[in-house]
Structures are given as structure tokens and as C-alpha cells.
Amino acid sequence: MAKKIPQINASSMADISFLLLIFFLVTTSMDVNQGLARRLPAPIPPDQKVEDTDINKRNLMVVKINSANQLMVQGQLTDIKQLREKAKEFIANVNDDAYLPKLFEEDFGAPIGIIKYTKEHVISVQNDVDTQYQAYLDVQNELVAAYNELREECARKYFHKAYNELEEDQQKQIQKVYPQKISEAEPKNYGGN
């Protein structure tokens, strides 16, 4: 006759798992790590001469932020809310304006085909030493948003889908049409302290 195995008392199991649970609750943080992803330019070797990069004036959009967090776009005092529209207008140059970046024709492959795009446009962000981080990030955010909106429009137009639903190589195609070109100068003191 087999011996009956006495049942193990598992009533303390709940306490143990409660302890573990509380430990994890205390040591972990709920917040997800997210942020505005950017890429820095590679450093210039010290022995290399700094070349004067010749950028045509019409291809350049200058965004300056002063120490009072005011914004100047192309020499005009601008509100942060208008920056996105202005940037979009600048990047796309739909009407081929003479003062907006020059358009180049290129074949981007099916289904986009041969379209015009502003190949050489550059957005230059310049900030003061005393500019607030939030103001700087606002500007960066609006510029990235402008690119994202244009890419989204492009995806809807040619692929009839949202940009994030596209395949990776399709996204790359669109990125070629709207390459992100945000350059950052070294901070200077523009005054206005």
C-alpha cells in the first residue's frame, strides 16, 4: 500500500510572492524611456582646415533662438507655432519659388517615379548660450515634426498607407525624398542678456 504523502503547507507562498511583488514595485520605475532622436555630425579632425561651405542663400533656412527664448526665422521674429508651417514650406517648395530651395529632379523608383525635391536645403539652428533647453527642444521638435508630416503626406500620396505601416525600404525611399538636414552651429553669444 502506497503511503499517503502529507500535503505541503503552501499558505506562506502567498506571503513570499507578495514580498517579491513589493520589492519589484519599489525598485522599478514606470516611466518609459523616450526622447527626440538626433544624430550629431562627426567631429572635424584638428588638422583639417575648416572649409567655407558654400551654401546658396536660397537653400539655407536660419533659425536663431536668443537668450530670451525668442525665435528668429530667416531674419523675422516668429512664433514657435508658425515654425512648422514655415519649415514645411521651405523643405517642400511646392511652387518652385525663387527664394526657396532649388528643386532637383530625380528618379526615386516605383511608385514615386521622377519628382522634384529640394536636394540641397539645409536648416541651420543657432542658439545662444543662455537659451533654455525647453525652447531649444521645442524648435528641434517642430522641425522634426515638419519632416514627419511631409513624409506622412508622401506615404499617403504614393503608397496609400501611413508612414509607419510601410516596409523598411519603402520608408527609405521616402526618406530620400525628404532627407533630414538640420545643422547645428556651435553656440554663440548673440547678446540680449
Partner 1 sequence: MAKIRRNDKREMPALNTSSLPDIIFMLLFFFMSVTSMKEVTYKVQFQTPQATELTKLEKKSLVRYIYVGTPTAEFRKQYGAETRIQLDDAFAEKSEIGEYIINERSSMKEQDQGLMTVSIKADKETRMGIIADIKQELRRAYALKISYAATQRTNY
Q: Is 181 buried (19+), middle (13-18) or exposed (0-12) by CB count in 10 A?
A: middle
Query: Is there binding between residue 25 and partner 1 (CB under 8 A)?
Result: yes
Buried b (16+ CB within 10 A) or exposed e, 150-177: bbeebbeebbeeebeebeeebbebbeeb
Q: Which is nearer to partner 1, 100 or 126 (CB)?
A: 126
Query: Is there binding between residue 162 and partner 1 (CB under 8 A)?
Result: no
Query: Is there binding between residue 18 and partner 1 (CB under 8 A)?
Result: yes
Q: Which of 70, 78, 132, 180 binds partner 1 (CB under 8 A)?
A: 132
Query: Is there binding between residue 144 and partner 1 (CB under 8 A)?
Result: yes
State how far Cα 71 lies from the chain centre: 19
Stretch that binds partner 1, among 51-59, 87-95, 137-145, 155-163 (CB under 8 A): 137-145
Stretch that binds partner 1, among 22-30, 85-93, 150-158, 172-180 (CB under 8 A): 22-30
Query: Helix 168-177 crosses helix 133-158 at what angle (to 10 degrees)?
Result: 110
Residue 117 C-alpha cell reads as: 525635391
Report the nearest approach of partner 1 to the CB of residue 127 (Å): 5
Query: Is there binding between residue 153 and partner 1 (CB under 8 A)?
Result: no
Report the nearest approach of partner 1 to the CB of residue 179 (Å): 16
155 backbone dihedrals φ, ψ, rounded to 5°: -65, -40
Report the nearest approach of partner 1 to the CB of residue 164 (Å): 11
What is the contact surface with partner 1 in residues (CB under 8 A)? 10-11, 13-14, 16-18, 20-21, 24-25, 27-43, 81, 127-134, 136-138, 140-141, 144-145, 148, 184, 186-187
